[in-house]
């Protein structure tokens, strides 16, 4: 099982908090988000990581040789030259990795601070195609991607969801796509490389799989994590998430 990390975006909501660095080069306890991802994947014995780059790619390129040598994970860059458009084009940039896959693939948002247990649950789940959900979500300060479920199975994947469901969780941004479901993911991605579809997000692509019943849910409610989108997220990460991770990792 290989992994694909999506880090092409410009992180405009973070403002000056990132300085002149790419967002995934923000450090937490002396390690960048990028290094933490590679470390977690090495612990899972994932042999290869594809990194979809765009904004400030040269900063990331400078890190790849060191991280690969240190953790024993092969790193290959896939460049999204159209990173200022919809993030569906980042999924398109990852097609070489998706089309070459012969077993499950991990898809990962790059801007998440989390612990090993979270990724381990996804990797070791008996579900062939699954996403991580946190039922302890809040919409007070953000607009999370919501995952409504019936009988424990996701049936939608969208921001601002309203309706009837047995349970609703927030998507963490990590997905395991089984080999049998890769053709649908690839087809939906290819359908968005021209016209209005170029403005879509890669969430729009994943939503098709959810509405088609392809995903199972892996519950990580209670595990410490945060997405790094806004300056307040950096503060929350340092104040709340990191202390919890120090106790569990």
Q: What's residue 141's pLDDT?
A: 64
Asked if residue 233 lies in contact with residue 16, where contact means CB atoms within 8 angstroms, the answer is no
The pTM is what? 0.96
Taking Cα atoms as reference points, which of 172, 158, 212, 161 lies closest to residue 188?
212
Residue that the structure tokens 């340092």 belong to: 238
Taking Cα atoms as reference points, which of 132, 67, 82, 88 lies closest to residue 106?
132
Tell me the two tokens of residue 37: 């991802």
| Residue range of the domain that includes 89 | 2-248
Taking Cα atoms as reference points, which of 9, 236, 12, 1 lies closest to residue 113?
236
Residue that the structure tokens 């921001």 belong to: 159
CATH of the domain at 62: 3.90.550.10
Q: Which residues contact 53 (CB under 8 A, 6 or more apart)?
A: 7, 8, 60, 61, 77, 78, 79, 80, 83
Q: What's residue 249's pLDDT?
A: 65
Tell me the two tokens of residue 106: 């991990």
Domain count, the chain: 1
Q: What's residue 12's pLDDT?
A: 78
Measured distance CA(34)–CA(7) in Å, rounded: 9
Measured distance CA(103)–CA(123) in Å, rounded: 12
In a 3-state reduction of DSSP, which class is residue 34?
helix
One digit per residue, the tens of pLDDT, for the chain of length 249 reads 999 999 998 877 777 777 789 999 999 999 999 999 999 999 999 999 999 999 999 999 999 999 999 999 999 999 999 998 889 999 999 999 999 999 999 999 999 999 999 999 999 999 999 999 999 987 766 789 999 999 999 999 999 899 999 999 999 999 999 999 999 999 999 998 878 878 889 999 999 999 999 999 999 999 999 999 999 999 999 999 999 999 886
| Residue 72: DSSP 8-state | -
Bridge partners for 49 per DSSP: 3, 75
């Amino acid at each position: 099982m290989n992994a694909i990390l999506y880090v092409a975006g410009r992180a405009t909501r973070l403002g000056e908090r990132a300085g002149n660095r790419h967002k995934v080069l923000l450090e937490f306890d002396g390690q960048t988000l990028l290094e933490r991802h590679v470390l977690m994947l090495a612990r899972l014995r994932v042999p290869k990581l594809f990194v979809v780059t765009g904004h400030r790619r040269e900063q990331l390129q400078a890190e790849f040789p060191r991280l690969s040598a240190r953790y024993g994970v092969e790193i290959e860059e896939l460049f999204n030259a159209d990173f200022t458009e919809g993030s569906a084009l980042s999924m398109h940039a990852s097609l070489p990795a998706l089309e070459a896959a012969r077993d499950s693939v991990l898809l990962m948002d790059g801007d998440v601070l989390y612990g090993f247990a979270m990724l381990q649950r996804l990797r070791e789940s008996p579900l062939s195609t699954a996403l991580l959900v946190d039922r302890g979500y809040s919409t007070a300060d953000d607009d999370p991607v919501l995952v409504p479920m019936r009988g424990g199975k996701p049936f939608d994947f969208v921001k601002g969801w309203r309706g009837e469901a047995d349970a609703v969780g927030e998507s963490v941004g990590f997905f395991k796509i089984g080999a049998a479901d890769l053709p649908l993911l690839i087809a939906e991605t290819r359908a968005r490389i021209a016209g209005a579809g170029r403005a879509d997000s890669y969430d729009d692509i994943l939503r098709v799989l959810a509405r088609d019943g392809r995903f199972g849910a892996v519950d990580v409610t209670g595990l410490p994590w945060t997405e790094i989108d806004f300056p307040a997220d950096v503060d929350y990460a340092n104040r709340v998430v990191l202390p919890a991770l120090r106790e569990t990792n």
